[in-house]
C-alpha cells in the first residue's frame, strides 16, 4: 500500500479517484504543528533552536496518518507546491520519524492543478523534499516569532491598549495611517471649468475651454467665480470654428492572466469580495480541479494551456481576427516576483462556467481573464478636435474614441480605480467634423469643483501597493489584512480602510522607536533575503543572526525606558499632528477650557489621550486620534443648529462617541453610528432630529417612524418593528418601502419570530455532507455548523483564528459521535408513599 498525504479532505477524495486501489490518500487538514505561543519557542542563543507543538485538534489526525504509515510501503508527500506546502510535508515526515512510523521510501510530488493528467504525471516524477524551501520557511517563521514575541511585551508595558505588532502587518498599517494623515493635511482648492454644449449634424457633443486670453488653462487656472464668469462670457460671445481634427489609431493589449494579488484586486473591484473570501473561494475551485494553484506571482502559462486557450478562442470566434498569429508570452513586472508557478487559469478552457454562487462568479472572472490574455489586441480610434474663435486667443477642445475592433475586449475589460479629480472623459462619440466647420452652440456652462484628497486604501489598492513595494507575499496578504481588522487597528467603511486610534498610536510608536523595522525598503529587502534562502543563495541562520543582532538591543533599550519617557517622546514626535498651528496664530497647546494650562499627550489604562497640565483642577481631555482637538475631540463644537441656534458638540462617553445639543437635563443627545463615515454638522442635525416621521400608515392611519435603537436602525408602527439595513436608510426610506418592510416583518412570525443570525465566517461546503460550513455565535458560545451538525469550538480556540480545515475536523468528529441521547438524566424512581396510619 502507498500512502499519499495532502492538506484537505476534498483534495484527498479527488486524488484517490485518480490513483486507484493501491493508494490510500489522507489529509493533514493544513499544518499539523507550530511554535508554541509562549516565550522561548525560538532560542537564538542555541543556534535558533525551535520547539514545535502539535495542534490540540490534530492529535487524532496525526495518529490516523501514523497508523496508516506503519503499514505502507511508500510515503508520498503531495502537499501544495509552495513554501508552506513544503513545510507541511516536512512536519509530517518529522512527526512520523519521531513516532517510528516513517516508511523507508519517502518521496515528494507536486502538481499545479488537481486533474488526472497533472496528478499521474507528478506521481511518475517524484523528488526529494526541497531543503532550501524548508529553510526559507524556518527563517520566515522564526523571524515573525522573534519580531512578535520580542516587541509585543514592549508594547504591553509601554503603550497601553496595543495588542501586538507583526513584521508585515505593521508596515501595512503604516501605509493606512500615512494615508489618513495625508487626508487630514489636505486642504481643498477651488477651481472652475468652462465647457460649451455644441451640435453638428444633429449630434450633440461637449468641448472644454483649454485656452483663455492666449494662456493655456491648467487645472487650477480658473480659481474663482469671477474669472470663470469672464471665461464663460468669452465663450458665449465667440464664434468657434474647427481648426484641427487629430485622429489617432491606437491599440490596447490584453492583460496577463491573474496572479494571487491581481485576482484579489479584481475580485474586490468587480465582485465585492474581501481578500480572505477570494482566497477561500479560489481554494475550493482549486481542490475541485477547476483552476490551477491560486498562490502564485507568476504570469506565465504552460505551453499546453496556451494551446488549449487558442483552440477555445478559434472555436468561439470563428469569424474575425480574434486569434493572434503568435501566442502571447508574459513576464511579471512586480518587485520580488518569484514566478515559481503558473498564473491562475482554468484547467479546462472549454468550460466557461463552473459551480454556483460565489464559486461560479470567481471562476468566470478567472476564465475570462485567462482566455482574453491570448486574444488579439483591441483597435481604438481616438479623435481630438480643436476649435478657436476669431481672436485666436480662446480655444475649445473635444475628445472622443471609437472601438474599431474589440479584440480581447469582447471577453474582458479590467476595472480601473478612478483617479481623484479626474474629470475628463474621452470615451464619448464625436460627430464627423472637418476643418472649417462651425458647430451650433447650444449653451455654455461654468462648473465649480474642488480638489479631492488622496483616496483611502481599499483592499484592492492596499494589496497593489504592498506588491509594488515588494512587501510580503501573495499568500500572506489576506491574512495580514485580516489581522489588522481583528486587532481593531483599522475599520472598513464602504470598502475603504480607516485607521483607528489604536492603530495610529501603534504606528507612531514604531516610527519613533523602531523606525528601521517599519521602513518599506527594509521589509522589502528582508523578502529578498528570504528568497535568497529559498534559492539556496543564503544560509537561513545567517539571516536570523543579522536581524537579531540589531533588533534585540533596540527592544531592550526601549523596554528600559519609563512609560512617562515614552509618552514624552511620542508627544514631541506627534506634535505637528496633535497640535497643528492655529489659524489665528495662538498657541495650539493652550488649554481651551482653563486658558492657562498646557496640553500634552498622556498615557492611560485604555490608551493615549490629550490632557491639560492643570489636572486635576482642569479636567479637559480629548481623544488621541483627533488632531488639534477642535475637530472632533471631547467637547469640540461641530456648529450651531440651523433652527434653534444651539451649539452641537461631539463628546465621548462610557459607551462611545455621541453628540450633544444643550446642557444639563435639557440637553438632547444621540449616539454616533459607525456606518456614517465622516461626522459633520448635517449628520449631527439629522441624528438629533430622530425619530423621523414618515407619515400615517395607509391602512391603519397610525404613524410610521424611523429611528436608531440599541440594536440598530428600525421602523416602528403600532407597537411593531422592522429592521432597516443601515443608518442612511433611516433618512431615505419612503412610505411605500416602509409599508412593505413592516408587512414582511409581520409575515415573519410576529413577536416570536427571529431574524436569522448572520454567520461570523463562512468556509465553503463540507467535503462529506456538502452543507455550507458557517461559524456562528451561539447562546453558549461560538460553534461551527454544516446545517446538519453543530460543533462547539474548544475553549482555547479563538473564533477569528478558526480555519476551514479545523471546521471540517470539528464537524466530522461531532458527526461521528452521533446525536446526543434524548432524555438527559434518568428520572429518579418515584418515592413510595408512606403507609397510612392505622386509626
Taking each continuous run of H as one helix and of E as one strand, the counts in the chain are 22, 32
User: Which letter does DSSP use for residue 794 in this model?
Assistant: P
Per-residue exposure over 316-346, b if at least 16 CB sit within 10 Å of its own CB, e if not: bbeeeebbbeeebeeebebebbbebbbbbbb
Of the candidates 142, 27, 18, which has an alpha carbon nearest to the alpha carbon of residue 89? 27
Q: Grid coordinates standing for 396? A: 475649445
Active-site annotation holds for 477: no
In sequence order, what are the beta bridge partners of 252?
378
Name the strand (E) or helix (H) holding 833. Answer: none
End-to-end CA distance of the chain: 85
With H, G, I as helix, E, B as strand and everything else as coil, classify residue 680: coil
Tell me the three-class secondary structure of 187-247, residue by residue. Answer: CCCEEEEEEEEEEECCEEEEEEEEEECCEECCCCCCCCHHHHHHHHHHHHHCCCEEEEEEE
With a CB cutoff of 8 Å and minimum separation 6, the contacts of 560 are none
Strands 42-43, 49-50: pairing is antiparallel
CB count in 10 Å sphere of residue 562: 9
Q: CA 491, CA 569: separation in Å to the nearest integer?
A: 27
C-alpha angle 417-420-423 in degrees, rounded to nearest 5: 100
Residue 738 and residue 740: Cα distance in Å, rounded? 5
Q: Which three cell numbers stand for residue 351?
A: 468550460
d(CA 495, CA 269): 10
788 CB contacts (<8 Å, ≥6 apart)?
A: 769, 771, 815
Query: Given 137, 145, 191, 293, which residue is catalytic?
Result: 293
CA 222 to CA 211: how far, in whole Å?
11
Integer Cα distance of 658 and 672 in angstroms: 5
CA dist., res. 119 & res. 292, Å (int)? 12
Beta strands in 619-747 (DSSP E): 621-623, 636-640, 647-653, 656-661, 668-671, 692-696, 703-709, 712-717, 720-723
**178 alpha-carbon distance from chain centroid:** 17
Q: What are the beta bridge partners of residue 211?
A: 216, 395
The CA dihedral of 111, 115, 121, 127, to the nearest 10 degrees, is 20
| Look-up of cell digits 431615505 | 732
Q: CA-CA distance, 564 to 13, in Å (whole number)?
A: 59
The residue with cell 475541485 is 288
Beta bridge partners of 695: 704
Sign for the CA dihedral angle at 425, 428, 434, 440 comes to negative
- Active-site residue numbers? 293
Amino acid at each position: 500500500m502507498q500512502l499519499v498525504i495532502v492538506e484537505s479532505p476534498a483534495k484527498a477524495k479527488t486524488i484517490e479517484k485518480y490513483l486507484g486501489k493501491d493508494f490510500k490518500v489522507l489529509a493533514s487538514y493544513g499544518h499539523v504543528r507550530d511554535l508554541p505561543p509562549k516565550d522561548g519557542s525560538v532560542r537564538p542563543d542555541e543556534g535558533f533552536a525551535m520547539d514545535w507543538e502539535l495542534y490540540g485538534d490534530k492529535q487524532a489526525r496525526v495518529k490516523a496518518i501514523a497508523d496508516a504509515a506503519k503499514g505502507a510501503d511508500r510515503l508520498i508527500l503531495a502537499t501544495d507546491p509552495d513554501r508552506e506546502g513544503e513545510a507541511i510535508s516536512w512536519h509530517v515526515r518529522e512527526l512520523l520519524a519521531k513516532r517510528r512510523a516513517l516508511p523507508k521510501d519517502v518521496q515528494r510530488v507536486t502538481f499545479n492543478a488537481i486533474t488526472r493528467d497533472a496528478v499521474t504525471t507528478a506521481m511518475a516524477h517524484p523528488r526529494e523534499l526541497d531543503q532550501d524551501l524548508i529553510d526559507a520557511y524556518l527563517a520566515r517563521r522564526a523571524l515573525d516569532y522573534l519580531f512578535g514575541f520580542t516587541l509585543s511585551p514592549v508594547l504591553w508595558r509601554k503603550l497601553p491598549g496595543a495588542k501586538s505588532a507583526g513584521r508585515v502587518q505593521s508596515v501595512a498599517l503604516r501605509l493606512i495611517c500615512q494615508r489618513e494623515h495625508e487626508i487630514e493635511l489636505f486642504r481643498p482648492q477651488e477651481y472652475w471649468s468652462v465647457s460649451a454644449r455644441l451640435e453638428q449634424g444633429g449630434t450633440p457633443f461637449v468641448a472644454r475651454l483649454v485656452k483663455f486670453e492666449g494662456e493655456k488653462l491648467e487645472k487650477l487656472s480658473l480659481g474663482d467665480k469671477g474669472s470663470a464668469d469672464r471665461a464663460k462670457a468669452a465663450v458665449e460671445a465667440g464664434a468657434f470654428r474647427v481648426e484641427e481634427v487629430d485622429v489617432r489609431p491606437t491599440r490596447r493589449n490584453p492583460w496577463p492572466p491573474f496572479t494571487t494579488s491581481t485576482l484579489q484586486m479584481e475580485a474586490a473591484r468587480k465582485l465585492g469580495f474581501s481578500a480572505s473570501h477570494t482566497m477561500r473561494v479560489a481554494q475550493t475551485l482549486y481542490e475541485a480541479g477547476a483552476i490551477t494553484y491560486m498562490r502564485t506571482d507568476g504570469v506565465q502559462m504552460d505551453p499546453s494551456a496556451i494551446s488549449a486557450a487558442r483552440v477555445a478562442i478559434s472555436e468561439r470566434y470563428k469569424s474575425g481576427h480574434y486569434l493572434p498569429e503568435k501566442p502571447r508570452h508574459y513576464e511579471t513586472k512586480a518587485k520580488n516576483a518569484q514566478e515559481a508557478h503558473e498564473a491562475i487559469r482554468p484547467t479546462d478552457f472549454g468550460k466557461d462556467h463552473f459551480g454556483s454562487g460565489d464559486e461560479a462568479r470567481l471562476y468566470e472572472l478567472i476564465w475570462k481573464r485567462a482566455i482574453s490574455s491570448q486574444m488579439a489586441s483591441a483597435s481604438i480610434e481616438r479623435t481630438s478636435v480643436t476649435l478657436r474663435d476669431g481672436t485666436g486667443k480662446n480655444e475649445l477642445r473635444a475628445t472622443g474614441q471609437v472601438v474599431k475592433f474589440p479584440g480581447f475586449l469582447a471577453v474582458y475589460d479590467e476595472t480601473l480605480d478612478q483617479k481623484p479629480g479626474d474629470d475628463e472623459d474621452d470615451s464619448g462619440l464625436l460627430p464627423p467634423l472637418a476643418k472649417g466647420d462651425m458647430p451650433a452652440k447650444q449653451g455654455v456652462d461654468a462648473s465649480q469643483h474642488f480638489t479631492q484628497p488622496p483616496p483611502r486604501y481599499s483592499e484592492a489598492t492596499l494589496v497593489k501597493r504592498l506588491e509594488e513595494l515588494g512587501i510580503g507575499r501573495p499568500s500572506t496578504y489576506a491574512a495580514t489584512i485580516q489581522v489588522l481588522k481583528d486587532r481593531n487597528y483599522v475599520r472598513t467603511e464602504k470598502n475603504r480602510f480607516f485607521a483607528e486610534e489604536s492603530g495610529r498610536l501603534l504606528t507612531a510608536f514604531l516610527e519613533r522607536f523602531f523606525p528601521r523595522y517599519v521602513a518599506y525598503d527594509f521589509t522589502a529587502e528582508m523578502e529578498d533575503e528570504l528568497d535568497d534562502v529559498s534559492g539556496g543563495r543564503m544560509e537561513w541562520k545567517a539571516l536570523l543572526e543579522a536581524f537579531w543582532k540589531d533588533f534585540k538591543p533596540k527592544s531592550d533599550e526601549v523596554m528600559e525606558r519609563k512609560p512617562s519617557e515614552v509618552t514624552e517622546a511620542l508627544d514631541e514626535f506627534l506634535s505637528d499632528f496633535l497640535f497643528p498651528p492655529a489659524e489665528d496664530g495662538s498657541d495650539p497647546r493652550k488649554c481651551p477650557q482653563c486658558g492657562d494650562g498646557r496640553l500634552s499627550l498622556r498615557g492611560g489604562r485604555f490608551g493615549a489621550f490629550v490632557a491639560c497640565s492643570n489636572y486635576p483642577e482642569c479636567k479637559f481631555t480629548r481623544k488621541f486620534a483627533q488632531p488639534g482637538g477642535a475637530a472632533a475631540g471631547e467637547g469640540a463644537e461641530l456648529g450651531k443648529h440651523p433652527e434653534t441656534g444651539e451649539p452641537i458638540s461631539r463628546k465621548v462617553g462610557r459607551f462611545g462617541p455621541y453628540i450633544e445639543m444643550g446642557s444639563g437635563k435639557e440637553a438632547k443627545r444621540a449616539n454616533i453610528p459607525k456606518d456614517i463615515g465622516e461626522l459633520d454638522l448635517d449628520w449631527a442635525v439629522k441624528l438629533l432630529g430622530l425619530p423621523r416621521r414618515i407619515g400615517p400608515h395607509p391602512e391603519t392611519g397610525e404613524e410610521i417612524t424611523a429611528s436608531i435603537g440599541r440594536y440598530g436602525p428600525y421602523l416602528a408602527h403600532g407597537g411593531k418593528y422592522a429592521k432597516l439595513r443601515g443608518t442612511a436608510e433611516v433618512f431615505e426610506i419612503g412610505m411605500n418601502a416602509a409599508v412593505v418592510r413592516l408587512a414582511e416583518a409581520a409575515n415573519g412570525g410576529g413577536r416570536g419570530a427571529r431574524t436569522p443570525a448572520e454567520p461570523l465566517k463562512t468556509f465553503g461546503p463540507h467535503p462529506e455532507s456538502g452543507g455550507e460550513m458557517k461559524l456562528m455565535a451561539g447562546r453558549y458560545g461560538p460553534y461551527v455548523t454544516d446545517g446538519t451538525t453543530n460543533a462547539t469550538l474548544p475553549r482555547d480556540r479563538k473564533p477569528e483564528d478558526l480555519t476551514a480545515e479545523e471546521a471540517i475536523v470539528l464537524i466530522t468528529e461531532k458527526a461521528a459521535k452521533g446525536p446526543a441521547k434524548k432524555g438527559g438524566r434518568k428520572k429518579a424512581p418515584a418515592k413510595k408513599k408512606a403507609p397510612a396510619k392505622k386509626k
